[in-house]
């Protein structure tokens, strides 16, 4: 497999002979305001430019949208992506949204989804704390998010964990599927008054304890206002905890292969 970090959670994953674009956030730098009610909301998003031309990002077999927050599916993606492109979404609500945006070739992921010989298994996320979801208004804003297990007989299993905090379901998936590569969104995005809504540095240790031989790719950093952990901090944390041989934090435009 080959994984190319693009920006935020946007990546190109080449796996089992297929090429996927993940969570396209395609807007130019500073296009839209920071997320209201989150840390550093005065900063405009995206914080950095794309490292590659959009046209090259669309040369894929399919797109996977783990959820439709604008840092994973933005207006530029809606405007740019061909309406007949094959797109996998997490549920019927996201399917309805994309149909309203005139997309036609949609697949709702489940435990048995696939593209050719590649299995695409939808997994559970919790995009914030129990306390955050106990606030009805915030719960509606956080909504549902998902991850994906990629399996192919010629590849190591890949676990794209998605936007989530550490929950039992994440650990259970790691133990069940035993991925050799794990992509973790480690930007530690913060909602004011409720704290983190995605992984932070400490979750690297949690994952490593469950999967001591897996390679962990840290992403979803340095691109949107409320993400407070940087790549350098991830690398330093891994070094301090002697797991640097298992943790990668690729720069935008950088590829890693396994």
In angstroms, the CA 159 to CA 182 distance is 5
Q: How confident is the model at residue 2 (pLDDT cuts 50, 70, 90)?
A: very high
End-to-end C-alpha distance for the chain, whole angstroms = 5
- Mean pLDDT score, 158-182: 98
Instruction: Report the chain's mean pLDDT, rounded to a whole number.
Output: 98
pLDDT at 130: 98
Please report how the helices 202-210 and 168-177 are oriented relative to each other, as an axis angle in degrees rounded to 10. 40
pLDDT at 78: 98
Question: What's the Cα-to-Cα distance from 39 to each of 7, 25, 219, 228, 257, rounded to whole Å?
Answer: 19, 20, 18, 8, 34
- pLDDT (tens digit per residue) in 179-197: 999 999 999 999 999 999 9
CB 58 within 8 A of CB 20: no
Strand partners, 217: 183, 248
Neighbours of 175 (CB within 10 A): 10
Backbone angles phi, psi at 186, to 5 degrees: -110, 25
Report the b/e string of 71-102 with b at 16+ CB within 10 A. bbbbebbbeebeeebbbbbbbeebbebbeeee
Residue range 2-252, CATH number: 3.60.15.10
Over pLDDT 90: what percentage of the chain?
100
Retrieve residue 178's tokens.
Answer: 């035993």
Backbone angles phi, psi at 233, to 5 degrees: -65, -40
- Mean pLDDT score, 162-182: 98
- Mean pLDDT score, 211-225: 98
- Cβ partners under 8 Å of residue 166, min gap 6: 199, 203, 206
Helix (H/G/I), strand (E/B), else coil: 65: coil
- pLDDT (tens digit per residue) in 119-156: 999 999 999 999 999 999 999 999 999 999 999 999 99
CB 135 within 8 A of CB 122: no
- Mean pLDDT score, 43-50: 98
CB 165 within 8 A of CB 195: no
- Mean pLDDT score, 29-57: 98
The verdict on whether omega for the bond into residue 27 sits within 30 degrees of 0, i.e. cis, is no
């Amino acid at each position: 497999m080959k994984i190319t970090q693009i920006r935020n959670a946007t990546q190109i994953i080449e796996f089992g002979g297929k090429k996927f674009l993940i969570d396209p956030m395609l807007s130019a730098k500073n296009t839209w305001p920071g997320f209201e009610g989150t840390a550093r909301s005065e900063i405009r998003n995206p914080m950095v430019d794309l490292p590659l031309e959009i046209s090259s990002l669309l040369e894929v077999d399919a797109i996977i949208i783990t959820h439709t927050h604008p840092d994973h599916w933005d207006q530029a993606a809606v405007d740019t992506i061909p309406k007949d492109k094959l797109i996998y979404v997490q549920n019927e609500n996201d399917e309805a949204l994309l149909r309203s945006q005139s997309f036609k070739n949609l697949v709702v992921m489940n435990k048995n989804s696939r593209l050719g010989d590649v299995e695409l298994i939808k997994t559970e996320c919790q995009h914030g704390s129990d306390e955050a979801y106990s606030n009805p208004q915030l719960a509606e804003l956080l909504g549902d998010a998902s991850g994906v297990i990629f399996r192919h007989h010629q590849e190591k299993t890949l676990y794209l964990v998605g936007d989530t905090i550490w929950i039992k379901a994440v650990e259970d998936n790691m133990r069940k599927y035993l991925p050799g590569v794990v992509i973790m969104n480690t930007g530690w995005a913060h909602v004011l008054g409720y704290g983190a809504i995605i992984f932070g540095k400490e979750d690297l240790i949690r994952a490593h304890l469950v999967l001591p031989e897996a390679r962990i790719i840290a992403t979803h950093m340095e691109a949107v206002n409320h993400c407070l952990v940087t790549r350098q901090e991830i690398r330093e944390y891994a070094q301090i905890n002697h797991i640097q041989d298992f943790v990668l934090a690729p720069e935008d435009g950088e590829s890693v292969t396994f």
